[in-house]
Structure 1
Amino acid sequence: MHEPVRDRLVSLRRRLHRHPEPAWREFYTTARLVDEIRAIGVDELAVGPDAYDPADRMAVPDDDLEPWLERARKRGADEDLLERMAGGTTGAVAVLERGDGPAIGLRVDIDALFIEESTSPEHDPAAEGFRSEIAGTMHACGHDAHMTWGLAALEAIAESDFSGRLVVFFQPAEETGGGGCPMAKSEFADGLDYLLAIHVGLDHPTGEVVAGIEKPLAMCHVDATIEGASAHAGKAPNEGANAMHAMGTAIENAYGIPRHADGMTRVNIGKAEAGTASNVIAEHAHMEAEARGETTELMEFMKRRLERTVKSAANMHGCRADVEIVSESPRADSDPELQSLVSEVAGGVAGIERVLPAADFGASEDATFLMERVQDDGGLATYLIVGTDHPTSHHTPTFDVDERSLKHGVDVLVETIRELEHRHPVARTAADGSDE
């Protein structure tokens, strides 16, 4: 007999935590989610290429997929599901069709990070036996909690007298900005009246809820390859075209790109490699970078400047540069109408002691693709935060969540969905404060 998700929030989150998988490699994770969704019972379940067009994916790795697929197979993942996901088409969409009422989307992310989890006895996952079992990979951003919320909310609505349509997007590849776009372009995003996205923590403590983020940064990931010519570094350095020197110039000049008067901009070179030996002029260099902006337009400005900077530096040193935009995501702000509703709902949830109507995000998220899609189609969207006491920052080896927040997140989501059902349609507020 299937034990209800709501009765095992902690154990389910810990099981997901033990098996982290990075972007487009979430084979076992997806299979585990599908098992849970099938046990809940939904009206439609789409997995991988049935959930979106694989051609719309971004930041898909060129290799490294097969070992993760084989690992999932050895862990007992359903073979039919693995065949469907071959090539890195991971993730799932679950749909409840329950008569007349609003169409509501809920987006949760499922991927992990390339971080080696701490073995310190002061780190609860290590001390209590649910530390990552996959070397060099970890749920260091709370996506294990997000998946637990998504399953528990789906179950609660499935067992209720809800009237309407609920679509839960179990989205892969958030950390690389690769999965939001295909989900947003899919048929499952058609006709949504409302979209809820959610995150745990982000420096908000247990018992606090942010009803909607504002000012997420638009973002792009950029890969650049510089090709030069090798030569003997002692005998004939003049015969080479130094790709490493060109890359160094590109890095220095990238950080010198002027800030923009219209708002916040960011650029960072996060990874750089070049060369083969101390006595060889490097003929090849590779760097991974990102550009961000307070608006989509500002991100585009930084992206163009970064691309021009890299190519100019390569040309200066007699080299050639290829610049690839690996992934990107737009800015999309939460709608005040939904922020107000979530604020009201969260204020009545047991354990929630403080509700912030809004907060600046200051980072980037590809849930903005879904938010933008719903908003462009006339619907409302919000990205809410459920606080948790995390001992260290997100994306660190000792990140963890306060498991009391698991129930908080489920309750806020379920009550918000039911309130949207009862208040539908939630009217937009015009600039003059009147209802549209």
Structure 2
Amino acid sequence: MENGVAAGKSLPNEDRARKTTYDDRFIATAGNLFQKLVNWRRDFHRHPEVGWTEFRTAAIIAAELSALGFAVRAGREVVEPGARTGVPHPDSMLAAKKRALQLGAEPAWVEKLEDGLTGVVGVWETGRPGPTVAFRFDIDALPIREADTATHVPYRQGYASRIDGVMHACGHDGHAAIGLGLATWIAEGVDGLTGTVKLIFQPAEEGSRGAKAMVAAGILDEVDYLLSGHIGLMATRQNQVVCGVTDFFASLKWDVRFDGVAAHAGFAPHEGRNALLAAATAAVQLHAIARHSSGVSRINVGRLEGGESRNAIASHALLQLELRATTNEVLGYLETEAGRIIHAAAQMYGVHAEITLVGESIAAPCDPALLDIVEACARDEELATNVVRTLPFNASEDITYMMEAVQKRGSLATYMLFGTELAAGHHNAAFDFREETMPLAVNLYGRVLKRISAKT
């Protein structure tokens, strides 16, 4: 047995006594879909792509949705180019595009995604009056080299990353598979659905870079309900459901470039302006920013590099940092203080500092009225072994831009967690989750969609 499911077997819950025909429909569907979910997830896991380079992943998703009968929008139709942050160098995107084509992605879809506009939206019109319900799934991987030890299930079973230095270390491969599973369930012709369903497959969640650009493209303008979720995180009990979260951290991700003047460190140090010392001073002082009484905050300098050699005054340095806070107001305070410190450190050493925004997110709440619906559906779901209304998130996720967009219109949003046992923590080279978590997510999303449809 691997990942908690014996190869070729149905889910353990499939033979349990069912409460109602309604449950029969969902559990049977999950069982039929399970192998497809596993196949999708493992394919995405073998071929991970970092944010704004997900050409193969997005092309496969678009092709699958189209084959199921969804109206598919992709590329510039769903991503506003000017609203993107943290866009890779064009050479990196071109290499990813070529690799996607070499690995069999349909050329027409790859071209549609053009310069890294790798978002996809599938639209299903039921033909009956009703609300527009959107589900969001993130699809990008991380720049992490995957573990290659015998204890790591993806490596042992042959579906570990084939792209050196890149892996799905956060479960987005599972999220993409769940989205396709929900699409399959919808396309089977489920009775009773009304209105419109939008399945949003978002690039560049890591680093909080993708959601804002999709919001700017207008894909949420008519949405009445928005749901998204994540495998694992604080939900570490297998098949646990967390209906919503509190304490999203608003965040800013900065790259800071310090430019000084090079000089010989021995006979002419006075002619130089040391950019590396300016960056190091800023790094230390950033961690000394006073905490704010109105909310929790986090500051982290994650990378510092610069200089040319030991006997030369460093003419350049790069500082990469992030700021996080539980409220947008506290984040604004951190932003002001961090900017002041960076420019003060630059002035101390007579160098220039330039701050580039490469990612951002905001804080947003989950709506109690939608939590009520999710909780009722979760308690009806036989695959769910434990239901929790909310847990604190204590991290950042740019889904909050989508949540804010619908909530400003008076619509409802929530962000769920799907419990799983983890082989290692998120963003770890040995990360892996139990694949039987995916049918639970498909079932629950389907139940919520049916419940919302029944309300109209």
Indicate the TM-score class for this superposition, using the shorter chain for normalisation.
over 0.9
- Provide the residue aligned with 1:59 in structure 2: 86
Q: CA deviation at 1:52?
A: 2.5
Residue 201 (1) aligns with residue 223 (2) = no
Distance 1:259 1:332 in 2: 21
- Give CA deviations for 1:17-67 in whole Å, capped at 9, x if unaligned: 11100000000111111121122111x211111112212212112332111
- Give CA deviations for 1:119-144 in whole Å, capped at 9, x if unaligned: 11111001111101100000000001
CA contact (8 A) 1:114 1:137 kept: yes
Map residues 122-271 of structure 1 onto 2, 5 A cutoff. 122-158=151-187, 159-161=189-191, 162-204=193-235, 205-271=237-303
Distance 2:179 2:34 in 1: 11
Please say which of residues 377-386 and 199-208 is displaced more in the overlay.
199-208
Distance 1:53 1:27 in 2: 17
Distance 2:359 2:166 in 1: 21
- Provide the residue aligned with 1:325 in structure 2: 357
Distance 2:428 2:68 in 1: 34
- Give CA deviations for 1:308-334 in whole Å, capped at 9, x if unaligned: 111110110111101122221110111
AA of the residue aligned to 1:54: P
AA of the residue aligned to 2:42: R
Distance 2:302 2:177 in 1: 31
Distance 1:5 1:345 in 2: 20
Residue 50 (1) aligns with residue 77 (2) = yes
Distance 1:184 1:387 in 2: 28
Q: CA deviation at 1:287?
A: 1.0
Residue 27 (1) aligns with residue 59 (2) = no
AA of the residue aligned to 1:183: M
Residue 14 (1) aligns with residue 42 (2) = yes
- Give CA deviations for 1:345-402 in whole Å, capped at 9, x if unaligned: 1112122111100110000000001101010011000000011111110000010011
Residue 276 (1) aligns with residue 308 (2) = yes
Q: CA deviation at 1:84?
A: 2.3
Q: CA deviation at 1:81?
A: 2.0
TM-score by length of 1: 0.94
Distance 2:248 2:292 in 1: 17
CA contact (8 A) 1:169 1:183 kept: no
TM-score by length of 2: 0.90
Residue 411 (1) aligns with residue 443 (2) = yes
AA of the residue aligned to 1:176: G
Is the partner of 2:452 in helix, strand or coil?
A: helix
Q: CA deviation at 1:295?
A: 0.5
Distance 1:82 1:16 in 2: 16
Identical columns (%): 37
Please say which of residues 125-134 and 61-70 is displaced more in the overlay.
61-70
- Provide the residue aligned with 2:124 in structure 1: 96
Distance 2:39 2:357 in 1: 39
CA contact (8 A) 1:388 1:405 kept: yes
Map residues 114-129 of structure 1 onto 2, 5 A cutoff. 114-129=143-158
Unaligned 5+ residue runs, structure 1? 425-436
CA contact (8 A) 2:75 2:114 kept: no
AA of the residue aligned to 1:249: T
Distance 1:141 1:92 in 2: 20
Distance 2:119 2:169 in 1: 19
CA contact (8 A) 1:222 1:323 kept: yes
Distance 1:326 1:398 in 2: 27
Residue 105 (1) aligns with residue 134 (2) = yes
How many residue pairs get matched?
421
Q: CA deviation at 1:186?
A: 2.5
Is the partner of 1:211 in helix, strand or coil?
A: strand
Which residue, out of 420, 426, 434, partners 1:402?
434
Is the partner of 2:53 in helix, strand or coil?
A: coil
Query: After the TM superposition, which parts of structure 1 deviate over 4 Å for at least 4 consecutive aligned residues?
Result: 4-7
Distance 2:417 2:429 in 1: 22
- Relative to structure 1, the CA distance from residue 5 to residue 56 in structure 2 (aligned partners, 3 Å threshold; closer, same or farther) is farther
Is the partner of 1:212 in helix, strand or coil?
A: strand
Q: CA deviation at 1:420?
A: 1.0
Q: Calculate the aligned-residue CA RMSD, in Å.
A: 1.3
Q: CA deviation at 1:226?
A: 0.5
Unaligned 5+ residue runs, structure 2? 1-31
Distance 1:134 1:155 in 2: 28
AA of the residue aligned to 1:127: R
AA of the residue aligned to 1:178: R
AA of the residue aligned to 1:117: E
Q: CA deviation at 1:6?
A: 5.0
- Provide the residue aligned with 2:110 in structure 1: 82
- Give CA deviations for 1:213-269 in whole Å, capped at 9, x if unaligned: 111000111110011101001111111000011011000110011100111011111
AA of the residue aligned to 1:52: V
- Provide the residue aligned with 1:382 in structure 2: 414
Is the partner of 2:446 in helix, strand or coil?
A: helix
Distance 1:275 1:230 in 2: 9
